[in-house]
Copies of this chain bind each other. A is one copy, B any other.
Amino acid sequence: MLSAIAVPDLPEVAPGDDLAALIAAAVRESCDPPGLTGEDVLVIAHKVVSKAEGMVRSLREVAPGPRAIKLAREHGKDPRHVQIVLDESRALVRAARGVLICVTRHGFVCANAGVDASNVPAADTVLTLPRDPDASARRIRRRLRELTGTSPAVLITDSFGRAWRHGQVDVTIGCAGLAPLEDWRGRDDTTGRPLKATWIAVADELAAAADLARTKDGMQPVILIRGAGRNVVDEDGPGAAALIRPAAEDLFR
């Protein structure tokens, strides 16, 4: 059985906070059974990681360049916000109907390069994605091990839209201690024929499952998933970088 539960009673996170310590304390006090095991998966909305890492930018300190001003005019946006989106982007994949689909500097393809004006601490500020979400996940995992003696897998997630389908789903943008892809290629089905669905994006399925366990008001950023131990590994592993399809292999850029 798989279970996903929102970790309760996390305080508002501020720059410099020891997020791992906050999570460890909350899990120790209020989850049932209490405490973490090395088979658990902690799924953390990037927003609290970005806050703890100080990934906040003030719109008042941004001087938009000509490209940002032009895009903002075409798409009805704040040019300072667009400048930050461009700062966070390696490339712009599509700009249409008020939507900027970007390749983030990490290589993720998403709207507005993940720059987010909701659930931020102050007016006229935006949150950006962590600079290196895989490194953030590894750091949180290492600190959890120091504090609790156990090494759950750590996933950092964001809500991304998709091509072809309406709505957003949570996906993994950083991970440590989890094999992000489960590879069944070469294995046979029950009748001896090769399996069709052979390469499963387990990390993204875990992100999606976690999102179902929280409300959307931004107060439940951390979800504890139990029953996914077969995907938890001792080494930190390749991280969410392994989920990125290189541009040269991608049919939809």
Chain A residues packing against B (C-beta within 8 Å): 1-5, 94, 96-97, 99, 101, 108-109, 116-121, 123, 159, 162-171, 180-182, 184, 187, 189-191, 193-202, 204-206, 208-209, 211-213, 216-219, 227-228, 242-245, 249-253
A-B interface, 9 closest residue pairs, ranked by CB to CB distance from nearest: A167-B201, A159-B197, A209-B209, A163-B252, A208-B208, A109-B164, A205-B208, A118-B196, A163-B163
Chain B residues within 8 Å of A101, by CB: 251
The one of B1, B171, B197 in contact with A4, judged by C-beta atoms closer than 8 angstroms, is: B1
The answer to whether B1 and A213 have CB atoms under 8 Å apart is yes
Chain B residues within 8 Å of A168, by CB: 197-201
Closest residue of chain B to A114, judged by CB? Answer: B196
The answer to whether A4 and B5 have CB atoms under 8 Å apart is no
Q: A168 CA to B195 CA in the complex, in Å? A: 13
Q: Offer 8 A-B interface pairs, CB within 8 angstroms, sorted by A.
A: A2-B3, A94-B252, A108-B164, A117-B196, A118-B194, A163-B252, A169-B200, A206-B212
Chain B residues within 8 Å of A4, by CB: 1-3, 209
Chain B residues within 8 Å of A198, by CB: 168
The answer to whether A163 and B212 have CB atoms under 8 Å apart is no
A246 to chain B, nearest CB (A): 9
Q: A242 CA to B167 CA in the complex, in Å? A: 10
The SS class assigned to the A binding surface is loop
The answer to whether A171 and B166 have CB atoms under 8 Å apart is no
Contacts A1-B4, A118-B196, A196-B159 given; indicate if A164 touches B253 (C-beta within 8 A): yes
The one of B180, B196, B202, B251 in contact with A96, judged by C-beta atoms closer than 8 angstroms, is: B251
A221 to chain B, nearest CB (A): 11
Q: A252 CA to B162 CA in the complex, in Å? A: 9
Chain B residues within 8 Å of A209, by CB: 2, 4, 205, 208-209, 212
A117 to chain B, nearest CB (A): 6
The answer to whether A193 and B1 have CB atoms under 8 Å apart is no
A159 to chain B, nearest CB (A): 4
The answer to whether A252 and B1 have CB atoms under 8 Å apart is no
The answer to whether A189 and B202 have CB atoms under 8 Å apart is no
Chain B residues within 8 Å of A181, by CB: 166-167
